[in-house]
Amino acid sequence: MTTSMLLFFQMILRVILTVILLCIATCHSLEKGDGFQVFRVLPTTNQQLLQMIRLFETADTDRADFWHAPSVVNGTVDIMVAPEHTGQFQKYLEKHGYTYQIAIQDLRTLLIEKEGNISTHSTDDAFFMKRLHDDVGFHSRLRMGEYYSYSVLSTWLQRIAENMPDIAKLIKVGTTIEGREILGLKFGKDTPDKKVVVIDAGIHAREWAAIHTASYFINLVIFDQSSLLENKINFQIVNSREGDPQIQNYLDNIVLYIIPVLNPDGYEYTRTDKTNPRARMWRKSRSPKACAFDGVRNSCCMGVDLNRNFDFRFSEIGASRYPCSEIYHGPSAFSEPESKAYSQFLASLKGRLEAYITLHSYSQLWIYSYSHRKFTYAPDIDETRRVAAKAVQELGRMYGTKYRHGTGPEIIYAFSGGSTDWAKETLKIKYSYTIELRPGYEEWNGFVLDKNQLIPTAKETWAGVTVVLDEVTNQWKSSKNRESELSRIRQEKCSDRLSGCAYWLQSSPNICRISQSTMIRDCAKTCDLCHMIAV
């Protein structure tokens, strides 16, 4: 072999090796999640809007993940696009004349910057689990402003219930498809006549700020009550913080349930590789793969959007029949163990459940029923709207954060199969709200909320929620006061109009029941029917 041929073969080998290395680097980069971009698209015509809605309902989440659903002409739509499809997506937008910009150049870099790297999260979890194991005195408060794994959160809930049995009771809503228990806490002394309020979060896995906010609510209640317990034990009530009278008022007069993570499987999946957008931005449950023909190919994907799986106008609008869509509604209403168990839990409280609040992110919205069609309302819309407006105003007092309130199609988009609409229609709950937390609709960082905003977000949300809690508490107290007053009046009016009442009862022991209306009028005291006197 000549020297020139040898040099030629060496050059060919170098080229082949370079290509192989580039392929390996590219594959590794894609596996890590490098190159994910978020496009902000503006449909300016009705045709563009309809095209974008079709894409929203059929898009494979692995390729294009809609952070905002397309809803109105000239309303921005945020879409996370996988690196292998960004070029193709840009060509699609340009071909159809869309106005767009790239809001986030590299989502993975943003995740590392805003939420910390994987080892930091693991270390936080390890430290807290060790503390729970070793801390004999048990400090019930969880450090806020951080994101914790579901194992940490569930262990925390269990320890609260174990160590503060007079204040909190652990509840088990059901079991997920992967075998995790859906846990929550019940606060307040339960009596059959008390009204109930339920607050949940985390039905969508990637909405970490909502989960943190629900955890903050729990922390707020147990901080108040554990301080009282510690003070009583140390006989320092006079010189120490006596607790928040507002929280004490709630616990005395209502029963409060808080379930911080309704979709534990999905939430844990988002933590498997927290700086990889494919994992971190997962929305659905982790139910087994289902397949459907999407017009191009037979696609199979895992997961169901649990907030499209409730039996309210199931699959009617704002949901998809394609399993690879992020808004896939599932094969049938309540097909998923999580939504089925939760609906049964809420139904078990029917008649007492006065308020239901579900926390989501993001857009800064306070949503009430109904969301499947514009200008479609529940009969008590005036009261629902009044309290929502008051809550939004109270929320804004703290930091000036602006929220809008209305039904889904009024302020964001139409959808069906949601938990609050189902609860409103089926359980006749007076106050049924979906709260979309920070950031605002126009903010480009979406689900990646700065950690320094977590506590302010939770604080202002609590301020808004207290408006609902106050309404329920005050109405129940007013009802009890009225009952007490009516009872007093009945006792004053209670007497026997005729002198033969005792004789009639002795002669006919069932006469009070058989001739009840007559005996209420003539022998109410002897028959012990004072409580039935009309006033």
271: closest CA among 153, 128, 358?
Answer: 153
To the query of whether residue 354 is one of the catalytic residues in this protein, the response is no
Distance CA 408, CA 192 (A): 34
What six digits make up the tokens of 239? Answer: 């010189």
Confirm if 355 and 469 have CB atoms less than 8 A apart: yes
What is the radius of gyration, based on Cα positions, of the chain? 29
* Strand runs labelled E in 202-289: 254-259
Single out the catalytic residue among 436, 442, 443, 485.
436
Confirm if 73 and 46 have CB atoms less than 8 A apart: yes
What is the distance, to the nearest Å, from the Cα of residue 204 to the centroid of all Cα atoms in its chain?
A: 7
Per-residue b or e along 199-234, where b marks 16 or more CB atoms closer than 10 Å to that residue's CB: bbbbbbbbbbbbbbbbbbbbbbbbbbbbbbbebeee
286: closest CA among 266, 308, 268?
Answer: 266
User: Which position has the token pair 């009530």?
Assistant: 237
User: Which position has the token pair 């009016």?
Assistant: 493
307: closest CA among 280, 330, 279?
Answer: 330
What kind and span of H or E run contains 454? helix 454-493
Distance CA 19, CA 434 (A): 51
* Main-chain phi, psi angles of 238, to 5 degrees: -60, -40
290: closest CA among 312, 320, 255?
Answer: 320
Amino acid identity, position 318:
G
Residue 140 CB coordination number (10 Å): 21
Q: Which residues pair with 64 in a beta bridge?
A: 81
Amino acid identity, position 423:
A
Residues known to be catalytic: 436
